[in-house]
Structures are given as C-alpha cells and as structure tokens.
Structure 1
Amino acid sequence: MLATNVPSHDELLDRVTQLVPQLRKNAAWSDEHRSLPDESIDALAEAGVFRMRTPRRYGGYESDTRTLVDVAAELGRADGSLSWVASVYWIPTWMTGLFPDHVQDEVFAEPDVRICGTLSPSAMAAPAPGGIVVNGRWGFISGARHSGWQEIVAVLITPDQEPMPVMALVPMSDLQVVDDWQTSGLRGTGSVSTIAQDVFVPQDRVLPLPAVLQGQSASQRNADSPMYRAPLLPVASASSVGTLLGLARAAREAFLERLPERKITYTDYQSQAEAPLTHLQVADATMRLDEAEFHAHRLAALVDGKCANGSSWTIEERCRARADMGAVVARAKESVDILSTASGGSSIYDGVPIQRIQRDVHAAHLHALMHPDTNAELYGRVLCGQEPNTLYV
C-alpha cells in the first residue's frame, strides 16, 4: 500500500495541534492510571502519528526528523507521557526497516502497527535450529500495552564465538508483561517490564546489534531511502528531543495562565506579574527554552542534511548528535525548574499541571541515553582526541 498522498510537515503539525485540547484533558487521567487511554492512542493513529517513520510502501510517510521534533513538541504541550510514547514508537519502527524485506512485510501488514523496544541487552539468547531462543527481562518498555511487536536486545552465547549482542523482533503475544511501573514521572507512559521465557525467534528476525548501530541494513527495498542514511543513535536522538521542548513550552503556558490571579504571599506585591523577580524568572526560563529549541533543530538539521546528501558520518558528528540531545534535556529541565520554583506552594496540588510537567521532565532527564552529563562527556572525550568508550554513537 504505497502512500501516494504524504502529508507535509505543516499538515502533520496542524493535525496534532488541533488535538492538543483533547489530549491535554486526558493527561491527568494518564498520570493517575499509569497508562495512556485508548482514546488518545486512537486520536494519534487517526492523525497519522504512528506512520511517520514507516516506509512509504506500507502507507507510511518517511517523515524527516525536523517533523518528528516539531510534532513531538506539540504532543508534549498536551501530555509529556503521550509524546514520549509516540517518540519511542518512532525509533523501533525505523529500526524495523533494517530487517529483511519479508520480515517488514509481516510486521507492517497491520496498519498503524506500534512497535515498542529497547537498546538494553538485558536478556540472553542461545542458538536453536532455524533461529535463537531468548530468556530474559527488559525494563522501561514504554507503550508496551498498546504495541503489537517489541524490538528486543539480547546477548547471544555460542560455543565457538565471542558473546554477541543481537536485536530481534518479537510479537507481544510471545512475551509476558509485568505491571511494575510505579514511578514519580512519565507515569502515563506505562513503561512496564516484559519477560521472555524460552521464546523462539526465527533467524530472519535477528540482526547483530553492532551492525544496526552502524546503520547497516538487511533490507534491499529501503536501500535508496534517505531516511536510512544515518546511524541509529543520531536517529534516536533526533526522535526523542521534541518531548522535552513540548514539556518546557507547556510549563511556560501553565505558569502564564495562572499568573494574573496570583500574588506573592507575605509581601506587598498584590500581583506576581508586577514583581521584578517574576520578570527575571520568565525571561530566564524563556531564554533557556530558546536554547533548547536551537539544539533540537540543529540536531534535526544535521540528521536530515546528511540523510539528504548521503554523506558519511564522522565520529565527532555522531557524538555531537548525542551532545545536542543532552543539551535539549538540560535546558528544558532548567526552564521548567525556574517556572516551577516561581509557581509557589499552591502548585504542588495535583490539579495544577506544572507539578506533573516537572515530574515528567525530571524523569526524562534521568534516562541513560538522554542524560546531559553522559552525553557531554562523550562529546568532550572525542573533541579531546580520545576514542568513544561506547558502542552507542
């Protein structure tokens, strides 16, 4: 089913912007119930959000990463958890396009299929006739409850070779889902754990992880697609940062909405809006948000530019992609923290959105691949002439 009418950046953004009021109403429910409502998932499917990184021959859009950033930012204005899950789906969906074409035919046979996943090799695999057998557990599997497939990573142990991390595609029906998502932030993502017990995976649904990280593909039909001319980590970085932008924008909106009715208790300011301190806080938060937007769009421009012209990636560029992601996370968190501090004691009530926004930003900030310090150290290491100390570049 070739997509003949692929929506533009502005068309997709407009679709999502129109959904913001509806999705925002569901955010508190998601936070309370630790999962996304079917209504929100259905709305994103109808808007085409889950097709943005699907190959066009399956009805997908093959959207560029600038579009991913801007769409995720709009979703983040409404609900950080919903935006996070949409962003997570984009990454394994793109990764599925690296598998042999007949495997893609199977996975993408379902319209708007949702694929969750991980890059953590927290399971073990053993060779078996025609494939591998996997046992293990993966945590932080965002969107698992609404997924049809999971992209897993396991360490393959064979008698005559060094241990090899592999990536595989597994139907969710083959896995156990454990509801252990009791967290302080991003609660609505429902990022539960999944377990494999003696799960057989056919060999054609298995790829060596080092090859995937280098952007090597087993697909022939995607070979000429610009979307697949980038390594995994820059793609994943650009896919992730829009949520943080959206959360920071939501914090500013929430603060300014409450501002006209607030004073500063135990002072003679009858209006918080009149206080010079407030002026400094809002300006500082806005400038940090502007910096986050700069790094997000520079990252997307790097990925999209190199995908368009097919030029090779240097190690420095790959590490800068992660550094830009970390900078977005850092500046967005700083912006939200300033506005949260300025919101006063009344903001701790559940009905005030900024407390949920701050919890979500803090949770994202702690993610292993998004942490600003980890990413800045890696970039600085390479700038100082050292080799990367990780495969994840």
Structure 2
Amino acid sequence: MEAIALPTHIELVHRASKLAPVLTEYADWNEENRRVHDTVIEALTEAGLFRLRVPVANGGYESDAATMVAVATELARADASAAWTVSVGWITSWMASLFPPEVRDEVLASADLRTCGTLSPSATATPTDGGYVMNGKWGFVSGAPHSQWQVLVAMAPGPGGDPWPVMALAPLSDLVVIDDWHTSGLRGSGSVTTVADNVFVPAARVMPLVSALSEGYDSGRTGIYGAPLVAAAAASVSGLAVGMARAATDQFRQRMSQRGITYTSYTSQAAAPVTHLKLAEAVLLADEAEFHAQRLAGQLDAKDAAADAWTIEDRARARADMGRACRLAQESVDLLRRASGGSSIYTSVPIQRIARDIEAMNMHALMQPETNLELYGRVLSGLAPDTLYL
C-alpha cells in the first residue's frame, strides 16, 4: 500500500492562517453563546487541525511541537476560544494515543474526531468486574459540546491499596453535560462541567496517570508519545499566548491611525511618541513570549527525536517556559489595552476580549506564571518538586 503523504509544518500553518476569516467572523458569537460555533468546528475539523497529535496509524499527523506552537499562534491570533478548544483536543488525543492499539482504534478512528478532558482527578473509579465504575464531576472541560470522547481522571485504588490517579476514556454520551460556563475570559471555549453517574469503563480504557506523566522512551512509547504528559501539554498551549499577544498588536495597529488622543493636539495616535514607546515595548514582549514557546517546543522535539531522557530540571523548565510565555503575553496585551483609549471598552473592539482571554489563560492552575516560576526555582535550588504534575 502506498504511504499517504502527511501535511508539512508549512502546510498546517497555512491551513490555520486560511481559517482566520471564519474564526474572526464568529468570535463574538462564540462569546455570546459560550461555545464555539458549529461552522468554526466544521472548518477546523475539515482542515485536519484536531488531528495533529493523533497517531498516523489512526489517520493523524503525529505533528511535532514546533508545528503545534505555530498553528496555535495563528488560530489564537483570530480567536482565542476556538484556538484553546483545538489545543485541549491536542492534549487529550495525545493522552488517548497512549492506550493499547485496540482502544486507539475504537476512540481515534473517526474522521471527525474531537476529544476533551481535564487533568484534575475530581472523581472516583471503583473497581468492578471487567473495569471500573466512575462517579464524580469534572469542571473546565473545554470543547465538551463538540467532542465525542472525554479523558477522565479519577482516583482509584493503587497496587498497594492507597488511592492513585488513573486516566480513562469514556464517550461523551455516557456523561451528563452541565451548561455552567459563565465566565469573563475564554467565554467561547465551552469549558463546561461533565458528570459521571455510575458510568462503567472497561479495564482496557483505564490506565495509571503516572504512565502518562512519566516519559515512555524505554517502555515502548516512541516519537511524540515518549515525552512526559505535562511537557507535551505545555507545548500544546504555549502558542496560544503568543497568538493572543500578536492579535492585540494587530488590533492596536489597525486603530491607532484612525483615532486621535483626546484632550491633546494629536489627531492621530500613531504620531504620538508615547504610542511608539508602548507599541515597541509590547511587540518585544510578544517576541520574548514567542522565544519561550519555541524553546519549549524545541526541547520537546529534540528529546522526542533522540529518545533522550527528561531530567527533573528539564521538566520544571518546560513548565517555566509555558508560564513565562503566558506572563509576557499578558504584559504585552495589557500594555496595548491601556493605550487603546476609552473607546476600547466597547464590546465591538476586540482588544477587550483579547485582554480577558489572556487573563483567563494566566489564571489556569497549570499555566499560572508564579506557580511555575516557584517550581523551577525550587528544583534549581536542589529541592524535590512538590507536585506530581511535572
């Protein structure tokens, strides 16, 4: 059988860029309705952008981290909520790819595959004949309104009897979806709550979370699936921050020559020296955010290619790079938001939405800049990390 050529980095970034008009068109609708419009989901699916981290054997692309960062940047430049939904799909489809082939064939085979999930073990998994019974709920399940499968993380009895986290795969049709996503930022991401009420999951679709958190180069996991989960997830989302910073710059530059600075002699904001200073500073902050996102992606891709082991310091730096990209991007956006004038508070001006979206991203527990900075500094100081999520 002749091998099918996979889309290149350049091709996938081009596909993402071409979707900007439709993402921009529905960005306000997404905000108002608190989920991504079906038209946008269909366009993203048709472009194959949900399949970047799906195995080639299951119709995916097994794209590298550099491609994820670049594609996420382009998507977030148009609409952060849609981009966020895609990035979460990359993380959860990557997690699903760690299961045995027969499970992957069941979960990942659909051409319109979309997955969702979170990393928080906010439910219980009780052993029963042939599998586990899940009970509990998961918040912040981005993309659930359009997904077919969810990665569930729950606490189950470990080998020694003490509870430990497991991850499982369940159809969304087995869960109850609660429409409770009423937020200030990333409103269009549809990050609702899902509930399991005595949901049976076969044993083949359950595995210890530590298997994903640990690297797997020496246990049969190869290529992009050999990396530790948190590093892979960090690379999946870091490009979003860069894209939001670029979006703020785009919006600011479009408006600055069309408006003056009230109560001054400047009829064009573009002519004012203070504008030059703020714009240059904001662009350089975005450049710095991009450096950290690309460094993280480069580290991930190099280790995946060489099956090189991850040290604790490597893992901590991956989280630090993600957190730094988020922080620098927010600083860039905030600088331009404050320079955008009173008219920018109208909901018709996109920079106010971008500012709320990047703030929401910085508040995510895994991406919170100070938490990641503390973790990296702790490891650099010779102390053991105080988290499993590394």
TM-score by length of 2: 0.97
Shift of the alpha carbon at 1:160?
6.5
1:64 is aligned to 2:61: no
Conserved 8 A contact 1:2-1:56: no
What's the counterpart of residue 31 of structure 2? 31
Counterpart-to-counterpart distance in 1, 2:207 and 2:274: 55
On the 8 A contact 1:122/1:154 being kept in 2, the answer is yes
Contact 1:98 1:216 in 2 (8 A): no
Following the alignment from structure 2 to structure 1, what is the Cα–Cα distance between the partners of residues 159 and 65? Answer: 42
How big is each residue's C-alpha offset from its partner over 1:12-69, in whole Å with a ceiling of 9 and x where there is no partner?
1111111112211111110111011111011111111011111001111100000000
* Residue in structure 2 matched with residue 232 of structure 1 by the alignment: 229
**4+ residue segments displaced more than 4 Å:** 216-220
SS at match of 1:261: coil
CA spacing shift, 1:352–1:345, aligned 2, 3 Å: same
Q: Does 1:269 align with 2:272?
A: no
The aligned residue for residue 55 of structure 1 is 55
In structure 1, the residue matched to 2:308 is 311
Residues 267 and 43 (structure 1), Cα distance of their counterparts in 2 relative to 1, 3 Å cut? same
Count of paired positions: 390
Q: Which amino acid aligns with 1:244?
A: A
Structure 2 residue ranges without an equivalent (≥5): none
> 1:380 aligned to 369, 377, 381, which one?
377
TM-superposed CA distance for 1:157, in Å, is 3.8
Q: Contact 1:34/1:189 (CA < 8 Å) preserved in 2?
A: yes
How far apart, CA to CA, are the structure 1 residues paired with 2:79 and 2:283? 20
1:323-347 per-position Cα deviation (integer Å, ceiling 9, x unaligned): 0000000000000000000001100
- The structural deviation recorded for 1:3 is 6.5
Deviation larger for 190-199 or 151-160: 151-160
Cα RMSD after superposing both structures = 1.6
TM-score (norm 1): 0.97
C-alpha separation between the residues in 2 aligned to 1:356 and 1:2? 47
Secondary structure (helix, strand or coil) at the match of 1:240 reads: helix
Query: Unaligned 5+ residue runs, structure 1?
Result: none
SS, match of residue 241 in structure 1: helix
CA contact (8 A) 1:2 1:58 kept: no
Comparing 377-386 and 17-26, the one that deviates more: 17-26
Q: 1:244 aligns with which of 241, 250, 269?
A: 241
User: What is the identity percentage for the equivalent residue pairs of Structure 1 and Structure 2?
Assistant: 56
Q: Distance in 2 between matches of 1:345 and 1:200?
A: 54
- 1:46 equivalenced with 2:46 (yes/no): yes
1:7 alignment partner, SS class: coil
Contact 1:142 1:192 survives alignment (8 Å): yes
Question: Does the 8 Å CA contact 2:238/2:293 hold for their aligned counterparts?
Answer: yes
Q: 1:217 to 1:208 in 2, by over 3 A?
A: farther
When structure 1 is superposed on structure 2, of 107-116 and 4-13 the one drifting more is 107-116
C-alpha distance 310-206 of structure 1, shift in aligned 2 (>3 A): same
Distance of aligned partners of 1:217 and 1:124 in 2 relative to their CA distance in 1, 3 Å threshold: farther
1:329 has 2:326 as partner: yes
1:356 positional shift: 0.6
Alignment map for 1:161-200 (pairs within 5 Å): 161-200=161-200
> 1:228, 1:25 → 2: CA distance?
35
Q: Within 5 Å, which residues of 2 pair with 1:95-174? A: 95-157=95-157, 161-174=161-174
Whichever residue aligns with residue 95 of structure 1, its letter is M
Aligned equivalent of 1:10: 10
Contact in 2 for aligned 1:51/1:112 (Cα 8 Å): no
Distance 1:246 1:159, change over 3 A: closer
